[in-house]
Structure 1
Amino acid sequence: MKSSILIIGSAVALWSCEPNKPANTFQTGLYILNEGAFMGGTATLTHWSDQDSITPDAFFAANARNLGNLGNGLRADGNRIYAVLNGAASLEAMEYPDLVSIGRATGFSSPRHALVLQGGDIAVSDWGRNRVYRVSKSSLTISDSVDVATAPEALLAYENELWVSCSGGYGIDSTVAIIDAATFELLATVPVGINPTSMVRMGNSIYVLCSGYTDYSGAGGDRAASLVRIDVTTRAVTANYPAVGISDRPSRLQTDGQVLYWIRDGYIGDVMRMEPTALDYPAIPWIGGGAYGLYVEPATRDIYVLDAKDFQQNGEIRRYSFAGQLISIAEAGVVPTAAVWMP
């Protein structure tokens, strides 16, 4: 493994008297959403440029205000970046590349993730209400919704369909909901493994990572995690890979379009890697320890490990090549959780 290159950046908060007209833009690079401290903290948006400079709180630099409590999800299209704020129960919309706030959508209970639909409207999963909302791009208000099973989490688009993993919340669920993205009507429900939390598409298959269930009562009701493959056309389950360890609670499934990556367990943070031709769930970590969040950039096939450290100090971003070599390290904010690369 190559030695790391420590990239140290300092905050440069440049804005004019009018906070909606910043003096700088951020442009190409990785944008990292940091959750912030659990009680009373604020989420931040770190910018790691393609020139290896760091702006620790790019949103504050552009708007002269905090982003809001408990960041969870980050999505973007060519002109906007959207941050889902679980604690603030809102969706923040920013212009790209200047990151000036366009506005904030509210009316959620416990929003988790967002997805930009065809035409520009935004789908938002609401873990607290077992519902998926449509948010108007123009007004940033809720324009439609559909009820699904327990604790909707990940969102994935396929043609004019919206796929939603129902993660079970504090209990158990084992379904993926398929919604008509135009009418917001429930089309179908696909049974998968226990508590599906994240999904990716590769070719004609959708892979669903199911985190399993821990029975804290001591009654021995633990349920194993699994990785499930679904044919996107027929909606049939074509493979089921049970996790090796009964206590594994995997999350954050990602792909570069050729290989699957995920975090084995939130406490240890090993990164797992699996070829789509593999016959079994991997037993040996590909990158050992420290991952709380994970992002894979398909264009470069680089893997970004988001390390929350002790959940109090600033975290760390480690960039690896697709061969597993450590390329560079940068400082993140408190509890880095999600990322997106913007050209």
Structure 2
Amino acid sequence: MKKQITYRLSLAVLVSVSLFSCRKDPQPAPEQTEVVPPAAGPAKGFYLVNEGNMNMNKASLDYMDLTTGLYRRNIYDAANPGIVKGLGDVGNDIGVYGSKLYVVVNVSNKVEVMDVKTGKRIKQIDILNCRYITFHKGKAYVSAYLGSVGDPNAPQGIVAQIDTTSLTEVRRVEVGRQPEELAVVGEKLYVANSGGYSPKNYERTVAVVDLNTFQVIKKIDVGINLHRLKADKYGDLYVTSRGDYYDVPSKLFVIDTKTEKVKKTFDIGVSNLTIDDDYAYYYSSEYSYLTGMNSISYGIINVKDEVLTDKKFITDGTDKEILVPYGIAVNPYTKDVYVTDAKDYVSPGTLYMFNPAGTKKYQVTTGDIPAHFAFVY
């Protein structure tokens, strides 16, 4: 059996080398599979989008079938062989809504819409320098920087409203410079503005958009260089500030959406987080230009009581093996925790699965820079 697998992988490498020599753009590897223990529960599986290296058209899509334990790597190319550049350049976010799968491809300036069962493309929606996506009442909301990548003179960023039936943009609203993650609470949309293209003049607000009028009705002063924004079930938002990488450290802020004010500040760096029930699972990979060092840590916050706990979601020492934590998700039924490792950013990453006790159950190889999850039920 091992010889057969080796032969198939060798053949795949030869085919990919042949394609590379004939085509200008590097292509992701052909679909590959691994088998791991299945997981019971309503969640049938999840998609994982790999960002890929910028300007390389190496974004790719993987799928974990939790009912069978089959992990399929690079399914987009297999389902859409006629699309020359594959999924595109930098897969920045992913979401499932109804029967459709949405992938935001940042540098390719598009949202790819696919059939959630097959991964086949339904439509491409063009949005310049798009970033993140969320959904509410038949609409998709996509944040976008606008302007070219890295341009300090880029215009105000926007959120585009997309009808999920016609898959057309309905309207858009300016929210601030370089908007990042966004979430809906009630009939309001909250958007984290970063101002990341102007390091000495970062943005520091969360824009509040009334979804009925689709106008910004308020901007909440929070902290500089905002990024992640997640809503809990108690009406609070957890918003991360990346600081300035020099003297201003990263922090985590809690906004009460009833008062629309910051109610608490955690003096911890949070690179990414996911909220499940009463807990926010996070990792921090904080770089300092002053020290040239990258500090990595993991933790759990009780969002009901708004306290940092001493609980760990990795308890077996596997955290020492993870070079660059880059994505995180929790199965809402089994409470298994998934963490990805981007490693050196230029080679295939790794997806780790930990059971509720924090022990690694398995790991699989992913595409380059594995980052964003979307569960399928």
Counterpart residue number, 2:169: 142
Conserved in 2, the CA contact under 8 Å of 1:263 and 1:271? yes
Supply the AA of the counterpart residue of 2:160. Y
73 and 273 in structure 1: CA distance in 2 versus 1, 3 angstrom threshold: same
Counterpart residue number, 1:292: 326
CA deviations on 1:316-338 (whole Å, 9 max, x unpaired) are 10011233221211111111111
Quick one: which of 181, 186, 198 aligns to 2:216? Answer: 186
CA distance in 2, matches of 1:206, 1:77: 22
Q: Secondary structure of the residue that 2:260 maps to in structure 1?
A: coil
180 and 311 in structure 1: CA distance in 2 versus 1, 3 angstrom threshold: same
Are 1:125 and 2:143 an aligned pair? yes
What is the TM-score normalised by the length of structure 2? 0.76
Supply the AA of the counterpart residue of 2:60. T
Counterpart residue number, 1:109: 128
Supply the AA of the counterpart residue of 2:262. V
CA distance in 1, matches of 2:107, 2:173: 22
Counterpart residue number, 1:313: 347
101 and 284 in structure 1: CA distance in 2 versus 1, 3 angstrom threshold: closer
Are 1:209 and 2:240 an aligned pair? yes
CA deviations on 1:206-243 (whole Å, 9 max, x unpaired) are 2212221124xxxxxx2122111122222122211122
Supply the AA of the counterpart residue of 1:141. T
Quick one: which of 242, 259, 282 aligns to 1:234? Answer: 259
Matches within 5 A, 1:45-64: 45-50=61-66, 51-64=68-81
57 and 265 in structure 1: CA distance in 2 versus 1, 3 angstrom threshold: same
Matches within 5 A, 1:253-292: 253-265=273-285, 267=294, 269-276=296-303, 277=305, 279=307, 287-288=319-320, 289-290=322-323, 291-292=325-326
**Once structures 1 and 2 are overlaid, which stretch shifts more, 175-184 or 284-293?**
284-293
What is the TM-score normalised by the length of structure 1? 0.83
Whichever of the two has the greater Rg, that structure is 2
Alpha-carbon distance, 1:126 to partner: 0.6
CA distance in 2, matches of 1:282, 1:190: 30
Alpha-carbon distance, 1:167 to partner: 1.9
Supply the AA of the counterpart residue of 2:144. D
CA distance in 2, matches of 1:329, 1:92: 28
Conserved in 1, the CA contact under 8 Å of 2:194 and 2:204? yes
Count of residue pairs brought into register by the alignment: 310
Q: Secondary structure of the residue that 1:164 maps to in structure 2?
A: strand
Conserved in 1, the CA contact under 8 Å of 2:56 and 2:89? yes
Q: Which has the higher helix share?
A: 2
Supply the AA of the counterpart residue of 2:227. T
Structure 2 stretches of 5 or more lacking a match? Answer: 1-5, 10-29, 33-42, 147-155, 287-293
Q: Secondary structure of the residue that 2:285 maps to in structure 1?
A: coil
CA deviations on 1:26-53 (whole Å, 9 max, x unpaired) are x921211011222323211101111221
Structural RMSD (CA): 2.6
**Once structures 1 and 2 are overlaid, which stretch shifts more, 148-157 or 294-303?**
294-303
Conserved in 1, the CA contact under 8 Å of 2:300 and 2:308? no
Counterpart residue number, 2:117: 97
280 and 31 in structure 1: CA distance in 2 versus 1, 3 angstrom threshold: closer
Supply the AA of the counterpart residue of 1:223. V
Quick one: which of 55, 58, 61 aligns to 1:39? Answer: 55
Conserved in 2, the CA contact under 8 Å of 1:269 and 1:292? no
Conserved in 2, the CA contact under 8 Å of 1:105 and 1:135? no
Alpha-carbon distance, 1:284 to partner: 9.2
**Once structures 1 and 2 are overlaid, which stretch shifts more, 200-209 or 74-83?**
200-209
Counterpart residue number, 2:96: 76
Q: Secondary structure of the residue that 1:60 maps to in structure 2?
A: helix
Structure 1 stretches of 5 or more lacking a match? Answer: 1-7, 14-26, 216-221
282 and 212 in structure 1: CA distance in 2 versus 1, 3 angstrom threshold: farther
> Could you say which structure has the greater relative contact order, defined with CA pairs below 8 angstroms and 6 or more residues apart?
1
CA distance in 2, matches of 1:265, 1:140: 36
CA deviations on 1:131-162 (whole Å, 9 max, x unpaired) are 11112323433221111122110010112111
Identity among equivalent pairs (%): 26
Supply the AA of the counterpart residue of 1:263. Y
CA distance in 2, matches of 1:281, 1:214: 26
Counterpart residue number, 1:85: 105
Conserved in 2, the CA contact under 8 Å of 1:255 and 1:298? no
Q: Secondary structure of the residue that 1:292 maps to in structure 2?
A: strand
Matches within 5 A, 1:332-343: 332-343=366-377
194 and 296 in structure 1: CA distance in 2 versus 1, 3 angstrom threshold: farther
Alpha-carbon distance, 1:74 to partner: 0.5
